[in-house]
Structure 1
Amino acid sequence: MPPPTAADAWLTGRRFGVVIDAGSSGSRLQIYSWKDARLARSDPNAGPLDTLPRVEKGTQGGEDWSYKAEPGISSFGDDPEGVAAYLAPLLAHARTHIPPALQSETPLFLLATAGMRLLSPQQQADVLQATCHFLKFHSNFRIDDPSPAGPCGSSVRIITGEEEGLFGWIAVNYLMDGFAGPRNNMQTYGFLDMGGASTQIAFEPGREEREKASNLIDVRLRLLNGHEVNHQVFVTTWLGYGTNQARERYVGQTILDHEANHRSSTFDVSLEKAVLDPCLPKELRLTESPTQLEDVDTHSTRPHMLVGTGSFEQCLERTLPLLNKDAPCPDTHCLFNGVYVPPIDFSASHFIGVSEYWYSSEHVFGLGGAYDVVQYERAASEFCARDWADIMKEHQASREHGQLGGDGQVEENGHVIDVGRWGNNVEIPRLQMQCFKAAWLVNVLHEGIGMPRIVDPGGNGTTTGDKVEEQAQNKGLGRPVFQSLDTVGDIAISWTLGKMVLEASKEVPPLSNSVPQLHDPLDAVELTDDSPIHPIRPPFLDFDAIEDQIAHRLPSSLTRQTLGFSPVTFLFYVFVVSMMVLVMYRLRHRLRSTVRRFHKKNRYNFAEDYAMEEAQPLKSPSPLPWSPSASRLSFQVLQPLRSLSSTLGSRAFRPPPIQIHSHHSPVRSNHFSPVRTSPIRSLSAPAPRAQNGLTASDVASGSATAFVPGSPRLDDGGIVSVGSVSSLSSRSRNSSQMNLTSLAARQTISRTNSTMHVQPGGSIRYEH
């Protein structure tokens, strides 16, 4: 059918939300809707505004609001490519019932539960990535961007058992009006959920216990009027304490006890495999293999025949040790299996149980609703004691006549005339395990959680489930301490409803812009070792998953299957290497100068021994002991003084030649080349020679160019001429002036401080 159009009055101001419960056996899509809070505020006929938005079925008339696909999405752990075809009918159903104009504003969630938790982290990442890719690119629904929670943020992820319990707590209190009215008069319900693998509890402790309790989760919800309600909820889960896994542990222990009791006895081999089981209806025979036995002999792990004896009282006794109440308690208060739970005040706290609590009470016994332990145990005892052949005969008759409803009630002319029967939807495995599940439920409620047994001394022989609540009121007990429910009105109790209540509450405008935005309660939980909830987050940076996301845009020649490696991984490493090269290129000058400074620490620069300061030479630093020139200078201590040019011409260091041009223009320079002189002054003063062997007279006459240490350079890089020697001046470090004549005279300095004067005509005169 086509989606509704804007002309429908039902759609006026309506908001939608879609959530897919991806369980272990199947995925169920559910569509919810609610009126826009702004419209409700402006509508005088909208009713009270001190309540949460009214979340209801998301289709007009309440039909086709749910759609289920099988098997569970976890079955694609080794074949993530099959997720697209699996999800296509679910997505098509949502598009059909939500107007296209509203789909971009409609949040879509796929939240996986027990089945996905059993996969490896890599398989989880593959399935979530394939799911995210399909939902994002094949629909216009609102889906979160990638975040640490997953490839599609919080829209596609795996939730924990604690999260299921918290969402269920919100759903129960929403349906039971636990969030309505003034906060001080409000009494919330506790929530109990039991599945095949685990059981959860979520409740709000009393005020005194909240102050002492730890690991509480803050739940913020916004009412239609903009005010907020805040609750502190405790939630925990017991893995392995669901009905199916408890049954597996029970079978293993029963077989071990049987082997221990008959190991030394001599009896018929045919009877050895027959294990008496009080938790099965009388004469029911089942062949079962223990799956949770470790470190036992091979014989105990073989299949054994279990024969039912149908004793509910013995079954209660046998299943009690499975609670493991003797486990060490790391805190001050534990219920069972060493799990901390704050003390529960059952006079003020009332609980609602769903899932197995409802199935085990209603489908066979017809006792769903308000719970009475005496009536429940009586019905269970009678059922267990029945012969299995008689149970099968009645089951077959109910199927043939079709006269029984699915809730286990016998109706005639619209009135219930009998309970404790089962209908067409009660399968044989349910009847086989009903005795065990009933005993396990009673033990968890009373011996595990500690719920008190309410016993009427007058007996409850004629009491039905509908009258339990009335009896509780007459006894002054108020609401029943516990009741099992499946729906409230026409809305099923499900954790998916709790998730949608949160989403509807987020869309309510706050009273002020300064009010912080609402988030899921678990987003504010600090992840520590003591955190009550540890989100399941598979690896986020998965190159294969990223490639799968863009695979439809790549040619077949660039896929992982064709290349033999992931092109995304290759491009990632190329990008990393390129970034490193780019950074090093940008820092090349600094790196080069750093290397040079390090190299010069081990090398003595002979070209910069002295600097000009007030026309006086600075004392030269001591040469490094390993310098070749240092060795030469040490050897020259006992030799006649050599000329400065020979020292500068040593092989250890040869500075670049400086040419002096023969013109007489005075030149100012910004720097000097330092003058190199011998540390030992000679007794005699022969005519000094430049580096190229020319005498000072040759230099003075301008017949050739010569290297003169300290000669300034022109702006174009040339050397000043010899003709300007007499007038050349330069600024020293302290801006003092000097005559280049004294510079040339300092080419050779005798031990008696003799000076050299260049006379007109090129002759040189020495004065001592």
Structure 2
Amino acid sequence: MGRDWQWGVIFDAGSSGTRAHIYKWTNESTVPHDHSTKDLASLPKLKLAKVEKTRPGISELADHPTDVGDYLQPLIDAAMAEIPAKKIPDTPIFVMATAGMRLVPEAPRAALLQQTCEYLRQNTRFHLPDCERHIRVIPGETEGLYGWLAANYLLGGFDQATDADDGARQDTYGFLDMGGASTQIVFAPNATEAAVHWDNLKLVRLRNVGGAASEYKVFSDSFLGFGANVARQRYVEALEDRYSTNGTDVLPDPCMPKGLRTTFTGDLVALDAIPPGEHTLVGTGDFEECLNQTYPLLRKDALCEDSPCLFNGQHAPAIDFDVTRFVGVSEYWHVTHGVFSSPGDKPYDLASYKENVDHFCGQDWAEIQRGILPRKKDSARKLQDAQDACFKASWMINVLYKGIGVPMTLSDTSRPDALNETAQDAQEGNLDAFMPINKIHGTEFSWTLGAMLLYVSGQILPTDASLPVGIGSNVAGIAADFERWGPSQWTTPVDGADTISEKAARAGPRLVVMALALEVWPHVASASTLEW
């Protein structure tokens, strides 16, 4: 007999498009008595069944929200084709919008979200009990927390996490995400730092298969205006200010390859077509100077209440990089593995990366074009990526090593292979202080997994009904801003029940208990399937 799958759907409504992530997990009525303590102490296991995407971003519909049905229908059809019809009424659906929708004014944003919920309720049978909770725009900080959950879930960070009495270890991975408009950092400081920065942390609570809660005290911050594209806009404005008094119409830009000419907005300009009296950027291909000129964009000199500081005046707990390794997604991956990568590349290290960037950015733009244009597929996109690559590389390096303070090499520099980390190293805890990631188990990383993990974890009957699953401010009791995942209350106490089936009987018939198959998807990927 096949597994009795339970299903869930999350639409990631981003600035450039929407992706439907369809997850499944095994729904059992009991956990056998012969399960080991380790099994019961593990988190539920989820599997990504399918991803479907559409363009453009949902924010493009802000002025005509009634079109949202036509926009979402292909994603809905993909989900309904994947999920058995009898399971649809029990399948929760979420639409979570990010960067693009955060910029939409409040009134049209609310109208679009309401129209989205009404369409899903009227045209599908998915489980959608609460529009406000299921269809919403999530803050950058929340998106970062979901990403932190997803990364640690897949990489085994929750399996190895400890919180020693001396505050020496907290082995979860730190998480970095950079998009076009903002960048996020999330990490769990050690116990000593957590005690000092108690009021500046978030509480993250999950529930394991046996019903016990596990808690993490996490620092999370989102820097709006520090994503790659907005940082570029600020950089160009700084160039204009610098050269505005010298009477020239041509501004040298060290963050573009030699000879590349563009308008301030990035449009290509031919040498013989420069409009008189208009400012034009011309690339000089000097990457070291590019690093120097992008560094001030971090605003490291901004007023900071206390040390240590990251950038833009943001105070944060001290990071012990000997213990906390960081993974980076989105632009961190694309900037390190896009333009500057080639087949057979070694895993990321700063020394090799800078060498590749120096070589590329010092080339003539005409030479770069000759290497791209013969590739008819996506040549326009590849040219745009090449045009932006030098700035993005400098920005990423400055954010990582000057802003956050990531060490440029492993602390254990005595290791002869310190700059050549492998996937197996990561499995064994020898990950470099920073490593970009894209796919784990052959599946593209997504923060939506973190949100779905909270949902599934919240459906497990608790051994302590006073501890709801979710995220919120790190205060005693349940914070006013606590984002609860799961029932608002359990009908009866469940302590002392020997099996989950007994707990279910005491908690009430309407609750579905998730006792999840432990072999579906191991937390830690094998070296052969982990892609760095």
TM-score, reference length from structure 2:
0.80
* 1:496 CA drift (Å): 0.6
For 2:213 and 2:27, the matched residues in 1 are separated by 17
Contact 2:307 2:316 in 1 (8 A): no
Change (3 A) 1:28 1:463: same
Partners of 2:14 and 2:251 lie apart in 1 by 34
Aligned pair partner of 1:28 in 5, 19, 32: 19
Matched residue SS, 1:57:
strand
Q: 1:430 aligns with which of 378, 382, 385?
A: 385
What's the Cα RMSD here?
3.5
Measure how far apart 1:158 and its partner are: 0.6
Cα deviation, residue 43, structure 1: 8.2
Matched, 1:54 2:45: yes
2:311: which partner in 1? 336
Q: Deviations over 1:434-462 (max 9, x none)?
A: 011001000000110011222899999x9
Give the structure 2 partner of residue 515 of structure 1: 465
The one-letter amino acid paired with 1:453 is M
Letter in 2 for 1:492: E
- Structure 1 residue 207: Cα displacement: 0.8
Task: Determine helix, strand or coil for the equivalent of 1:360.
Answer: helix
State the distance in 1 between where 2:104 and 2:209 align. 41
Alignment partner, residue 293 of structure 2? 318
Report the CA distance between 1:186 and its aligned residue. Answer: 6.2
Please say if 1:177 is aligned against 2:156: yes
Given that residues 288 and 304 in structure 1 are in contact (C-alpha distance below 8 angstroms), is that contact kept between their aligned partners in structure 2?
Answer: yes
Q: Cα offset for 1:392?
A: 1.3
Residue 39 of structure 2 aligns to a residue whose secondary structure is coil
The alpha-carbon distance between structure 1 residues 455 and 174, as it changes in their structure 2 partners (threshold 3 A), is closer
Name the SS of the counterpart of 1:283 in structure 2.
coil
SS of residue in 2 equivalent to 1:468: coil
Contact 2:207/2:469 (<8 A) preserved: no
SS in 1 for 2:132: coil
Determine the C-alpha separation between the residues in 2 that align with 1:233 and 1:81: 39
> For residues 294-373 of structure 1, what are the structure 2 equivalents within 5 Å?
303-366=278-341, 370-373=347-350
Secondary structure at 1:366's aligned position in 2?
coil
SS at match of 1:180: helix
Q: Distance in 1 between matches of 2:417 and 2:254?
A: 27
Structure 2 distance, partners of 1:182, 1:343, is 18
- Provide the residue aligned with 1:746 in structure 2: none
SS of 1:104's equivalent? helix
Q: 1:196 aligns with which of 155, 169, 180?
A: 180
User: Share of identical aligned residues, percent?
Assistant: 39
Cα drift, residue 78 of structure 1: 1.6
Work out whether residues 254 and 285 of structure 2, in 8 Å CA contact, stay in contact via their aligned partners in 1.
Answer: yes
For 1:471 and 1:54, locate their aligned partners in 2 and report how far apart those are by CA, in whole Å: 22
Change (3 A) 1:470 1:501: closer
Residues of 2 paired with 1:480 and 1:369: CA distance?
A: 13
Q: Are residue 106 (structure 1) and residue 97 (structure 2) matched?
A: no
1:40–1:46 CA contact under 8 A, matched in 2? no
Q: How does 1:572-651 map to 2 (within 5 A)?
A: none
1:481 aligns with 2:433: yes
Contact 1:289 1:304 in 2 (8 A): no
Asked whether the 8 Å contact 1:56–1:491 carries over to 2, the reply is: no
Residue equivalent to 2:251: 275
Aligned CA distance change for structure 1 residues 41 and 525 (closer, same or farther; 3 Å): farther
1:162/1:533 contact within 8 Å kept: no
- Please report how far the alpha carbon of residue 75 of structure 1 lies from its aligned counterpart in structure 2 after TM superposition: 1.4
State the partner residue of 2:274: none
- In the alignment, the residues of structure 1 paired with residue 358 and residue 33 of structure 2 have an alpha-carbon distance, to the nearest angstrom, of 57
Which structure's CA Rg is the greater one? 1
- In structure 2, do the counterparts of structure 1 residues 344 and 115 end up closer, same or farther at CA, with 3 Å as the change threshold? same
The secondary structure found in structure 2 opposite 1:208 is: helix
The answer for the alignment partner of 2:370 in structure 1 is 393
1:485-504: CA deviation from partner (whole Å, max 9, x where unpaired) = 01111232211111111112
Summarize the Cα distance change of 1:105–1:388 in structure 2 as closer, same or farther, 3 Å threshold.
same
1:101-250 map, 5 Å: 101-145=86-130, 152-181=131-160, 183-184=162-163, 187-213=171-197, 214-250=199-235
Q: 1:370 to 1:48 in 2, by over 3 A?
A: farther
Partner of 1:452: 407
Which AA in structure 2 matches 1:505? Answer: S
1:90 counterpart = 2:67: no
Deviation string for 1:682-721 (max 9, x for gaps)?
xxxxxxxxxxxxxxxxxxxxxxxxxxxxxxxxxxxxxxxx
Could you tell me whether the CA contact under 8 Å between 1:316 and 1:439 is conserved in 2? Answer: yes
Shift of 1:33: 0.7
Q: Corresponding residue for 1:578?
A: none
For residues 234 and 59 of structure 2, what CA distance do their matches in structure 1 show?
25
Cα pair 2:328 2:434 within 8 Å, conserved: yes
Deviation at 1:124, TM superposition (A): 1.2
Whether 2:449 is the aligned partner of 1:497: answer yes
Q: What is aligned with 2:260?
A: 284
1:32 aligned partner, one-letter code: Y
Q: Distance in 2 between matches of 1:180 and 1:454?
A: 26
Counterpart-to-counterpart distance in 1, 2:240 and 2:161: 56
Match for residue 503 of structure 2? none
Question: What is the DSSP-based 3-state SS (H/G/I as helix, E as strand, rest coil) of the residue aligned with 1:18?
Answer: strand
**Structure 1 residue 40: Cα displacement:** 5.6
Residue 478 of structure 1: how far off its partner (Å): 3.3
The amino acid that maps onto 2:149 is I
Letter in 2 for 1:451: V
- What is residue 626 of structure 1 aligned with on the other side? none
CA distance in 1, matches of 2:231, 2:442: 32
Shift in alpha-carbon separation, 1:525–1:128, aligned structure 2, 3 A: farther
Q: Which residue is equivalent to 1:468?
A: 421
Indicate if the aligned counterparts of 2:178 and 2:332 stay in contact, CA closer than 8 A. Answer: yes
After TM superposition, give the deviation of residue 45 of structure 1 in Å: 11
Residue identity in the other structure for 1:318: Q
> Conserved in 2, the CA contact under 8 Å of 1:16 and 1:33?
yes
**Structure 1 residues 459 and 524, CA gap change in structure 2 (3 angstroms):** closer
Change (3 A) 1:379 1:463: farther
Post-superposition shift, 1:366? 2.3
Amino acid at match of 2:189: P
| Mapped partners of 2:240, 2:470: distance in 1 | 46
Change (3 A) 1:40 1:439: farther
Contact in 2 for aligned 1:37/1:509 (Cα 8 Å):
no
**Over residues 549-595 of structure 1, what are the superposed CA-to-partner deviations in whole Å (9 max), with x where a residue is unaligned?**
xxxxxxxxxxxxxxxxxxxxxxxxxxxxxxxxxxxxxxxxxxxxxxx
Is the contact made by 2:256 and 2:388 (CA closer than 8 Å) also made in structure 1? yes
Amino acid corresponding to residue 16 of structure 2 in structure 1: S
Displacement of 1:28: 1.0
- The change in CA–CA distance for 1:310 and 1:200 in structure 2 (over 3 A counts) is same
- What is the alpha-carbon distance in structure 2 between the residues aligned to residue 426 and residue 455 of structure 1? 35
- Counterpart residue identity of residue 299, structure 2: N
Structure 2 CA distance for aligned equivalents of residues 118 and 72 of structure 1: 12
C-alpha distance 97-463 of structure 1, shift in aligned 2 (>3 A): same
Counterpart of 1:153, as a letter, is E
**Does structure 1 conserve the Cα–Cα contact (< 8 Å) formed by 2:304 and 2:313?**
yes
Size of the alignment, in residue pairs?
A: 464
Partner of 1:383: 360
Larger RCO (alpha carbons 8 Å, 6+ apart): 2
Q: Deviations over 1:497-554 (max 9, x none)?
A: 11111112122233x3x4236333149889xxx999999xxxxxxxxxxxxxxxxxxx
Asked if 1 retains the 8 angstrom alpha-carbon contact of 2:372 and 2:382, the reply is: no
1:326-383 per-position Cα deviation (integer Å, ceiling 9, x unaligned): 1111344321111121111111111000000000001122288854221111111111
* Secondary structure, counterpart of 1:453 in structure 2: coil
